[in-house]
Amino acid sequence: MKRAYFLFRKELTSIFVSPVAWIIMVLFTLVMGANLYLSMIAVSGDLKQLVAAGYGGLVSWFMLLVIPPLITMKSLADENRQGALEVLMVTGISDASVVAAKWAAAWTFYVILWCCLLPLWGILGMVGVLDTGVLFVTHLGLFVVGAAYCANGILASALTSHPLASAGLAFMFNVGLFMIHWLRFFFRPGDLELLWVEYLSAVHHIGDELTQGILDIRVFVWWGSFTLLTLFLSARVLERRRW
């Protein structure tokens, strides 16, 4: 575990010394800031509706689907291609630790990105009445869904040896997960299958529950389990060189 922590620290340092990370951060804040501004106009300044309008809209979903693949695309793919992974593994660190550390660094950066928007909410809170509970729960949801999307990115990065291929594959995984929501059109209200779709759908969790202030622990169980399973698969993919 110690080694995983050291690797996590190094990965996070590497992310923050790279100009790409800062460019992503600035662009993310600008786009999401503009999105919140437009959403506020759409809800006529009602801050209670702003969380759902701002974080449940297309722009947020686009960010959710695109940002994790961009953060994780170099994690394993590039290192595998350059031989850096081999250099790393000869120190005796386990495959699972490498996967865990790389994911943790990517997810931490993802969390920091969303936290960049908190000052905007702080300013809004000073001029109006903000439901901090809803905001907190929504952020928890974004973090837990993002954890799974980052895990998808790590898996894609382990499966390929080119960063762009990794980003493309991770984006496909994330879109696949996102599209589960639209399976509901195949079922009628009251069908058991519809409950399953809702249980698995990120759009339902964020758009219909968390941004409305509904905190369902099953949401965290599902996304947490999915993240762990994906990370386990990633570690197995790394181990394939020994098969």
- Note the maximum CA span of the chain: 61
Q: In the complex, what is the shortest distance from the CB of residue 10 to another protein, in angstroms, rounded to a whole number?
A: 5
Nearer to another protein, 82 or 225 (CB): 82
Summarize as ranges the residues that interact with another protein (CB under 8 A).
2-3, 6-7, 9-10, 13-14, 17-18, 79, 82-84, 86-93, 241-242
- Minimum distance, C-beta of residue 24 to another protein, in the bound complex (Å): 15
Q: Which is nearer to another protein, 35 or 97 (CB)?
A: 97
CA distance 139 to 154: 22
Distance of closest approach, residue 77 Cβ to another protein, in angstroms: 13
Query: CA 185, CA 240: separation in Å to the nearest integer?
Result: 39
Q: How is 152-210 classified by DSSP, letter by letter?
A: HHHHHHHH-SSHHHHHHHHHHHHHHHHGGGGGGGGS-TT-HHHHHHHHH-HHIIIIIIG
Question: In angstroms, what is the minimal distance from the CB of 93 to another protein?
Answer: 6
Residue 15: CB minimum distance to another protein, A: 9
| 79/198 with CB nearer another protein | 79
Neighbour-count burial for 31-40, b at 16+ CB within 10 Å, e otherwise:
ebeebbeebb
| Phi, psi of 116, rounded to the nearest 5 degrees | -60, -20
CB closer to another protein out of 18 and 225: 18
Q: Which is nearer to another protein, 219 or 238 (CB)?
A: 238
